[in-house]
Structure 1
Amino acid sequence: MWSFCAIVNLVLRSTLRFSPDGTFQITVLSDLHFAEYEDSAQGATQDARTAGVVQKVLQHETSTQLVVLNGDLISGYGTTSDNATRYLDQVFAPIHALDLPWAVTYGNHDNERFSKSRALFDYESSTYPDQSLTRDMGPQGSEAGVSNYYLEVFAETEDVPALLLWFFDSRGGDQPHDWVDDSVVEWFVSTNANLVQQYKRAVPSLAFFHIPITAAYDFQVKPGVNPSRQPGKNGEKVWWQGRGYDGKTGHDLKFMTALSNTDGMLATFSGHDHDNDWCFKWKRSPSTSAGLNVCYGRHTGYGSYGSLARGARQILLKKDTLAEEVVTWIRLEDGLVPENVTLNATYGQDEYHPHHRGFPQRTDLRRGLSAVENIGVGLDVSTLYLVGLVLFWWIRGR
């Protein structure tokens, strides 16, 4: 049984707060795709390289307070037996080694024939109760999916949240409906209204979901992604919510409407499209004054397709300017920061010219890995993974 002290410590550890300097930073990992080529050395090497990306990014980003894994942790199509849960240990190990909390949205490839998002969620929750903040608060049932929930982030000494983080399951994979279910949208609208009533105000918020909304596809078609105003990589056609089901738009209309009608919604973040990492300002109509900032992450894993250098999106929030802006940038595994942008009232109109503003930038590794170094070996995490996984498959094949 849990002791009273253990329960208190768990509650304290799971409470997210802004730093004493008034900032809160999130690292977003997208499309890790562990578990491809399960019965080969190639698969082990690929997974080791992905673990190395996570390790190096977090060594650079020493101010990260929360890691969001925004879908497709597992390549469910790559496993050959019902053993996907054991790959979660490899997914979380670099984050666990740094004693950082994390939150997951499960993606379409987490829910395949041999990889079920429900089983992954149950294993994550029971195995990592101290660091996993992943929840399943939304409607229950096969149509709703898994990992629909919110987290509260507090200022250093306050009891009322300064920020809400919303997480949604956009489904897909073995569940052919690849969009946020209407029942989840209804739960979101109702829950948010209750929170507004409880806290007497609309709390600033961010939203995370794996598959992009249709608005991203519409924007890509017209007016199009301008590299000066929407800097980033635009390397493939947007795979919008519902495209995998019947190729038609409109399935996520209720979800998009709810997001755009949510007071205080600062920005949304998705993955899924491995060769895209841009942000844009979505306005439901030309007369809309504010608009919603919509962003991609950056392809993190070496599994699946993609030609971009691997990395992760960073999100920096400042308590004093929380309602006005979100600063975000991409950190690559080699330390490069190709660009950063400020998502504010004028984003989409501001001109960004990286080579005139001191970009790209690179920094040295700054975070030590004492949890690994204390093992007493002179290997980094990625090397340890490679050695361990190759040995595992060699022993298994004997």
Structure 2
Amino acid sequence: MTETGQFLFFTSCLYIIIYSLIISTVVVALPTKPEGYDLRPGAADAPFKIALFADLHFGEAESTEWGPLQDVNSTRVMSSVLDHETPGKEDCSFQGTQRLELMKNEIELNTLSHSRYGPKGLWPSVSNYVLQVLSSEDPKSAVAFLYFLDSGGGSYPEVISGAQSEWFRQKALEINPDSSVPEIIFWHIPSRVYEKVAPKFGIHKPCVGSLNEEQVAPQEAEMGMMKLLAERKSAKAIFVGHNHGLDWCCPHKELWLCFARHTGYGGYGNWDRGARIVEITQKPFSVKSWIRMEDGNVHSEVVLSP
């Protein structure tokens, strides 16, 4: 906790895990065990920060000398980012294993975690859930809704399924029926729409970023989720990982489609490591984002919602 606000971060690794942005999602908030599904910023003028640690690849090649060293390097990146963003104490750990066991360990053993199993009717797709950021002035009023969805991978199809899309539709209708509260969405594998908006050569306006070194590796199919989001005035931005060589944000209709920044030293690619930061301000409401590099430098600042 700092004088300027509370800090939420979620980690991801290109494993069968849950926010590997699971590959889905591990979400950790500071500094106390969450009550219900609520996140509470500090004062009205205090920003609420989210750090996206994408594709950590923890536990990769664990029997080799190289594997554990990459975990040390990945942890160093996270520590550097958190030091510069000055959040406060943090705690996060997991091992590469099956989705459900990962979620069980995360929820039961990590006392700071906000992660949730999600509806059992969507399993084996786990970690589909929503958190609300509450107003510091009115604890019954939401400032924003944060949705986390499992986009598959590993031994599961790389999709946001029709069942997940329907769950989102019903949940949004239940908690945000008039679309008056902004919504921010996180999953791991980019949708096919990312291919359509991807910069062709370099990165030029209206896109913002610094890394465009590979083609988008999208989900296997679109099954309704992007159509739902494109039609919601309250949906502001989607954040994904998966592609280590991309860190841009590009607009699509009224949405922003953003990549995180490769954080982990495991996996492919030798690009400099870092993390995407998302900042929510209550009054006036805004969503801003930037990339914080391992060496502390900041770049690619963008306003995602006025």
Quote the Cα distance in structure 1 between the aligned partners of 2:201 and 2:229: 22
Report what 1:18 is aligned to: 41
The correspondence of residues 135-174 of structure 1 with structure 2, limited to 5 A, is 135-143=116-124, 145-158=125-138, 159-174=140-155
1:260 correspondence with 2:238: no
Quote the Cα distance in structure 1 between the aligned partners of 2:112 and 2:49: 16
* Structure 1 contact 19–156 (Cα < 8 Å) conserved: yes
1:39 correspondence with 2:63: yes
Quote the Cα distance in structure 2 between the aligned partners of 1:13 and 1:195: 15
Normalized per residue, which structure has more strand?
2
Report what 1:312 is aligned to: 275
Quote the Cα distance in structure 1 between the aligned partners of 2:98 and 2:67: 20
Gaps of 5+ in 1: 1-8, 65-97, 243-250, 284-290, 346-398
Gaps of 5+ in 2: 1-31
Match of 2:260 among 287, 291, 297: 297
1:218 correspondence with 2:196: yes
Match of 1:27 among 51, 59, 65: 51
Match of 1:99 among 89, 92, 109: 89
Match of 2:186 among 189, 208, 217: 208
The correspondence of residues 178-193 of structure 1 with structure 2, limited to 5 A, is 178-193=158-173
* Structure 1 contact 46–303 (Cα < 8 Å) conserved: yes
* Structure 2 contact 55–241 (Cα < 8 Å) conserved: yes
**Which residue identity is paired with 1:238?**
V
Quote the Cα distance in structure 2 between the aligned partners of 1:261 and 1:101: 37
Q: Describe the shift of the 1:235–1:211 C-alpha distance in structure 2 as closer, same or farther (beyond 3 A).
A: same
Quote the Cα distance in structure 2 between the aligned partners of 1:142 and 1:342: 35
What is the CA-CA distance between 1:217 and the residue it aligns to?
A: 0.6
Quote the Cα distance in structure 2 between the aligned partners of 1:226 and 1:160: 38
**Which residue identity is paired with 1:270?**
V
**Which residue identity is paired with 1:330?**
I
Q: Deviations along 1:218-243, whole A, 9 cap, x unmatched?
A: 1227x76643432321111101111x
Quote the Cα distance in structure 2 between the aligned partners of 1:225 and 1:213: 21
1:49 correspondence with 2:109: no
Quote the Cα distance in structure 2 between the aligned partners of 1:253 and 1:37: 34
* Structure 2 contact 289–303 (Cα < 8 Å) conserved: yes
Q: Considering only CA atoms, is the larger Rg found in Structure 1 or Structure 2?
A: 1
Q: Describe the shift of the 1:296–1:201 C-alpha distance in structure 2 as closer, same or farther (beyond 3 A).
A: closer
* Structure 1 contact 219–225 (Cα < 8 Å) conserved: no
* Two-structure CA RMSD over aligned residues (Å): 2.4
Query: How many residues were matched structurally?
Result: 272
Task: Give SS of 1:152's match.
Answer: strand
Quote the Cα distance in structure 2 between the aligned partners of 1:193 and 1:307: 43
Q: Describe the shift of the 1:224–1:215 C-alpha distance in structure 2 as closer, same or farther (beyond 3 A).
A: farther
* Structure 1 contact 139–184 (Cα < 8 Å) conserved: no
What is the CA-CA distance between 1:14 and the residue it aligns to?
A: 6.7
Quote the Cα distance in structure 2 between the aligned partners of 1:226 and 1:339: 11
Task: Give SS of 2:116's match.
Answer: coil
Match of 1:227 among 184, 195, 204: 204
The alignment's TM-score, normalised by the length of structure 2, stands at: 0.82
* Structure 1 contact 28–297 (Cα < 8 Å) conserved: yes
Task: Give SS of 2:198's match.
Answer: helix
The correspondence of residues 77-116 of structure 1 with structure 2, limited to 5 A, is 98-100=88-90, 115-116=97-98
Quote the Cα distance in structure 1 between the aligned partners of 2:129 and 2:104: 15
Quote the Cα distance in structure 2 between the aligned partners of 1:10 and 1:275: 35
What percentage of aligned pairs have identical amino acids? 31
Q: Deviations along 1:9-41, whole A, 9 cap, x unmatched?
A: 745597412231242111111000011221122
Match of 2:106 among 111, 121, 124: 124
Normalized per residue, which structure has more helix?
1
Report what 2:293 is aligned to: 332
What is the CA-CA distance between 1:170 and the residue it aligns to?
A: 0.2
What is the CA-CA distance between 1:332 and the residue it aligns to?
A: 0.6
Task: Give SS of 1:267's match.
Answer: strand
What is the CA-CA distance between 1:344 and the residue it aligns to?
A: 4.0
* Structure 1 contact 236–276 (Cα < 8 Å) conserved: yes
Quote the Cα distance in structure 2 between the aligned partners of 1:139 and 1:12: 21
The correspondence of residues 334-353 of structure 1 with structure 2, limited to 5 A, is 334-344=295-305
**Which residue identity is paired with 2:98?**
K
The alignment's TM-score, normalised by the length of structure 1, stands at: 0.64
